[in-house]
Structure 1
């Protein structure tokens, strides 16, 4: 009897997990594309992330030579832009000494482009071309 109850509980837990997983893969997505420039010059590499902020996985597009293309959730999305580079702590902090040779990542774009304040509406049946002309100041 105890084994039967344990087996039933295990089956119910597995069914619940499968149901949760199905919800995450059924997210409505649409193709997005565009250009990203900083002070009029194409951003060489980075990411453009579209986040519906509703618990569903965001869509992250790779940025290469100022252009990106990929899939994003349909609806209003917070857009986060990043162009990371590796830099030594010595170079970043302008300090010399032991341990400052290790590298860290630094976003070349101002923080205001990665804080979620940029909002874009992705539609399921239309062009979703979003160009971002960023300014360093």
Structure 2
């Protein structure tokens, strides 16, 4: 009986070991910490969104404070950006027309529950179920984008992120 028990434990332990090794974070990326200052015509640019997009991989984002300073975050919780060359976009987050969907800057707190649309295939459980509807955010009514397109939608900005600390400042101008 002891022999049978030992033989059945070996495959289980091997399976557990294989699973643990397979989930040990083989997809980690090398990040460099990125901070900086964004100015517009020499003045600090407050509440701007800074996006570093690498050639391959996920982008890093940050928002400037009242003094124009930003810190980048990768995938929402890791400080920094992928090491390498990046295309950089800076925007105030103003809408460029009707939003096509929900994004990271959607303000759900100010949404009206009447601003919902029906989902084409409701769940089978109940016709009156609230999961049949999803929120449709309204675009912010804060005005036109003040940052020229050459810094955001048609960006010309580039940056190189290295391992360790990176201080990358941007002085934007309106011509």
Q: TM-score scaled by structure 2? A: 0.51
Tell me the SS of whatever aligns to 1:84. Answer: coil
Q: Distance in 2 between matches of 1:124 and 1:67?
A: 20
Offset of residue 58 of structure 1: 0.4
- Superposed CA RMSD in Å reads 2.9
Indicate the SS of the match to 1:112: helix
State the aligned residue count.
104
- Could you tell me how far 1:22 is from its partner in structure 2? 5.6
1:123 is matched with which residue: 162, 167, 171?
Answer: 162
Aligned equivalents of 2:142 and 2:92: distance in 1?
A: 13
Picking from 87, 102, 106, the partner of 1:78 is 87
Instruction: Say if 2:50 is the partner of 1:48.
Output: yes
| Aligned residue number for residue 41 of structure 2 | 39
Alignment counterpart, residue 145 of structure 2, candidates 107, 110, 113: 107
Find the partner of 1:30 among 32, 36, 42.
Answer: 32
Taking the aligned partners of 1:77 and 1:107, their CA distance within structure 2 comes to 23
Structure number, greater radius of gyration: 2
Q: Alignment partner of 1:31: what SS? A: strand
In 2, the alpha carbon distance for the partners of 1:79 and 1:61 equals 11
More helix by share: 1
TM-score (norm 1): 0.64
Alignment of 1:57-96 (within 5 A): 57-65=58-66, 66-70=68-72, 71-85=80-94
**Which one has the bigger strand percentage?**
1
